[in-house]
Structure 1
Amino acid sequence: MAQTTNDPAGGDPGDPAPQITETTDEKAPSILEQMGGVSGLIYSTVPIVVFVPVNAVWGLTAAMIAAIAVAVLIFCVRLWRREPLNPAISGLIGVAICVFIAHRTGDAKGYFLFGIWTTLAYAIVFVLSIVVRWPLIGVAWNLISGEGMAWRKHRKTLIAYDIATAFWALVFAARYITQSELYDHGSTGWLAVARLAMGWPLTALAVLATVLLVRRATRQEDLIESGVTPDDPDRARLPAD
């Protein structure tokens, strides 16, 4: 009596063919990566470092030309290195806007005006997002990771994102207050120092605080979904009655 075996390659023709599903584990880009990474933060400071000394030596027109030339050079370098395009394009557009405002105002300090008002707008938007219970850090983080908006159902997770968003709002508010005061006093050199000192160092600090808060919020979500309260994680290890 012949025996039949369940061989996937030679099975019953009436059986459905085995389906192979391939899963790809693509790591979601971090907030810092979305901003262009560490190199992107450094690139953003180069036009300012060039603009101020050139303005002091050769005047505003030469400074504007130098800033645009450096921005275009950085854009080409990022294209050549095949780095993300969005930060490169936004950086070039940002420098162009700053140069345009400096040209219209006829003063070197006008180069910093766009950044000053932008930080104020960011601070207001971030605070409003907390008020309406849609903290922007939570929205952005979960959109990047593709995890949806289920986090809003967990109170402690929502609070963690509120705190992270508030931290970013404080960073933007501090930049606005400091730089607007220097702008009013016409301190172009100190404006550049403040822009650099309060630029990527504060951004790195805000990113670190965000990562720590988000990781804590994620752990709390995992505990809740597993039926364990965050205040009593040992319950998961108790034997069933």
Structure 2
Amino acid sequence: MRADEVDERDTHHSDEPDSLAGVLGGWEASVDAALPPVAFVAGWLVAGNSVGWGVAAALAVGVAVAAYRWSRGARPRAVLLGLLGVAVAAVVVLRTGRAADFFLVQLATNAASGLAWIVSIVVRRPLLGIVVGTALRQRGRWRRDPDLLRAYGAASWVWVGQYAVRVGVFGALYAADAVVALAAARAALTWPLVAACVAVSAWVLRRSLPAGHPGFRRPRVEDS
């Protein structure tokens, strides 16, 4: 018997082109993450470039989004982490008084995330495989499939590219102190970029697997 015989939950899914998007999901979280920065810039502009009013608007929207997601059954940890990000950005900008610094935390986290994805590929623990494998409850079986491990490594580079795009755009706008453009970029490079990244990485994953491979839902691993 082979260990690639998945549990009953997996057998009800097929490796359709959009199946990776179905596993990853998270579109709401991507949209939610863009709302507080936009609210910050709106409050900052309306109040005559007041950092305090911008922070108040961002925190109000952040709390509202967190409360809404909580009421919809989102995981408390995810809700609190999202709110924590807004709070940290608020503290930074209040201390410096420079509106563009509200986006400094986002710039730093994207740079750190890109580096983490690179390291994961180099050490043969690609984060895309960890995320998808955990979601499918594969208990690390995907890592014992050499073809799937290699495919996850290739597809993970797409995610590195996503973070590189953000760091490049945010970094240039931050250096130029372009506050309004930072908010626009924050919105544009959230859900649309994530959606494109999922689609491209799914394509790379499929193309990287050899002909006849059953797909990422069914790692080909012999039982020991």
**Greater relative contact order (CA < 8 Å, ≥ 6 in sequence):** 2
**Structure 1 residue ranges without an equivalent (≥5):** 1-22, 227-241
Q: Which residue of 2 aligns with 1:117?
A: 108
1:219 to 214, 220, 224: 214
Q: CA deviation at 1:151?
A: 2.5
SS of aligned partner of 2:69:
helix
2:154 to 149, 157, 163: 163
2:33 to 29, 44, 53: 44
Where do 1:81-96 residues align within 5 Å? 81-96=72-87
Q: Residues 24 and 154 of structure 1: is their aligned pair in 2 closer, same or farther, counting only changes over 3 Å? A: closer
Deviations 1:32-70 (A, max 9, x none): 2xxxx3322222222122111210221110110111111
Assess if the C-alpha contact under 8 Å between 2:39 and 2:54 holds in 1.
yes
2:134 to 140, 143, 146: 143
SS of aligned partner of 1:30:
helix
Q: How many residues align?
A: 200
Distance 1:184 1:211 in 2: 34
Q: Which residue of 2 aligns with 1:237?
A: none
Assess if the C-alpha contact under 8 Å between 2:36 and 2:62 holds in 1.
yes
Where do 1:32-111 residues align within 5 Å? 32=25, 37-58=26-47, 59-111=50-102
Deviates more, 1:182-191 or 1:74-83: 74-83
**Structure 2 residue ranges without an equivalent (≥5):** 1-6, 14-21
Assess if the C-alpha contact under 8 Å between 2:128 and 2:156 holds in 1.
yes
Residue 158 of structure 1 aligns to which amino acid in structure 2? L
Q: CA deviation at 1:212?
A: 4.1
SS of aligned partner of 1:148:
coil
Bigger Rg, structure 1 or 2: 1
TM-score (norm 2): 0.79
RMSD: 2.6
Residue 132 (structure 1) aligned with residue 127 (structure 2): no
Distance 2:215 2:35 in 1: 41
TM-score (norm 1): 0.74
Assess if the C-alpha contact under 8 Å between 2:43 and 2:53 holds in 1.
yes
Distance 1:67 1:39 in 2: 18
SS of aligned partner of 2:153:
helix
Runs of 4+ displaced beyond 6 Å: 26-29
Aligned-residue identity in percent: 28
